[in-house]
Amino acid sequence: MRMRPTLSWTPTGDPRPGTTDPGPVADALRAGGVLVLSGAGLSTESGIPDYRGEGGSLSRHTPMTYQEFTASAPARRRYWARGHLGWRTFGRALPNAGHRAVAAFGRHGLLSGVITQNVDGLHQAAGSDGVVELHGGLDRVVCLSCGALSPRRELARRLEEANAGFAPVAAGLNPDGDADLTDEQVRDFRVVPCAACGGILKPDVVFFGEAVPPRRVERCRALVAEASSLLVLGSSLTVMSGLRFVRQAARAGKPVLIVNRDTTRGDQHAVTRVALPLGATLTTLADRLDIPVDGRTAT
């Protein structure tokens, strides 16, 4: 079953105001058993834009849907041309202070797990273990015919060979690694097939309009059930894939805490929303808990 893409959400009624006091988050971390659910806002300080924040990519870019990708060869050419160029920047992104703080919390036994909606791999690069990539990872490619998985770097090499000299100037980069290019710029781009069977290659990520694999959802539900509290970092919770875990935690009476500068779809379920920048706030929390964080400057 495919989910209808949810690209935006409009709050109803008077939105709950955020706070600048991270004290409740510090208390939850001190108690331990915190499950982190992170979104694109956590990676903006690494140079990867988010979808819906100030200057978010949805203001200029409509993400590729699963239905369009699988049904249209021109759409796949456009995606891989833009994605190939975007990967040159996206693949070089480094963890920022927020990622490093989350990793430090994990090393000190304060977290029960990390679920991320991001596809950038920056939690793992910062040292977090056992991260559940809810929407997959851009560092892998899957064949839609035979199911073979292969590294993105291998596909990047093959695309370089098939498109020598391809170096257009992009208008911007998006959270899914997709660079903004015109139809004219991608017109002659050559897509390569699966090296094993000749089938269609797709990044191992969940596109808009595509369902998260059921086993992955159940794994996340189990993590929520085992956690003492849920800490949402940098997500508007617009899409149900993340919001459902907030609702699950709230129904079970587990505190939901959110650090996000803007109003989120999950605010009504939260005991607090801290409306402060993520990197500085998480570093401050680490200081308050006397936990050293590797590297103090956000990239």
174 is known to lie in a ligand binding site: no
239 is known to lie in a ligand binding site: no
Distance of alpha carbon 76 from alpha carbon 69, whole angstroms: 5
295 is known to lie in a ligand binding site: no
Distance of alpha carbon 205 from alpha carbon 215, whole angstroms: 15
141 is known to lie in a ligand binding site: no
If 0-12 CB within 10 Å is exposed, 13-18 middle and 19+ buried, where does residue 218 land? exposed
178-209: b or e for each residue (b if 16 or more CB lie within 10 Å)? bbbbeeebbeebebeebeeeebbbbbbbbbbb
32 is known to lie in a ligand binding site: no
The single residue of 84, 99, 123, 135 carrying the catalytic annotation is 135
- 170 Cβ contact partners less than 8 Å away, ≥ 6 residues apart: 82, 85, 86, 179, 180, 181
Q: Based on the residue annotation, tell me whether 99 is a catalytic residue of this protein.
A: no
58 is known to lie in a ligand binding site: yes
119 is known to lie in a ligand binding site: yes
- Write a three-state SS string for 77-105: HHHHHHHHHHHHHHCCCCCCHHHHHHHHH
91 is known to lie in a ligand binding site: no
263 is known to lie in a ligand binding site: no
220 is known to lie in a ligand binding site: no
Please give the DSSP secondary-structure letter assigned to residue 3.
P
DSSP strand pairing (111-116 vs 149-151): unpaired
33 is known to lie in a ligand binding site: no
223 is known to lie in a ligand binding site: no
DSSP strand pairing (136-143 vs 201-205): antiparallel
CB-CB contact of 151 with 140 (8 Å): yes
229 is known to lie in a ligand binding site: no
CB-CB contact of 7 with 175 (8 Å): no
47 is known to lie in a ligand binding site: yes
- 15 Cβ contact partners less than 8 Å away, ≥ 6 residues apart: 263, 267
Residues marked as binding for Zn(2+)? 143, 146, 194, 197
Residues marked as binding for NAD(+)? 39-59, 117-120, 234-236, 278
Residues marked as binding? 39-59, 117-120, 143, 146, 194, 197, 234-236, 278
The residues assigned a catalytic role are 135
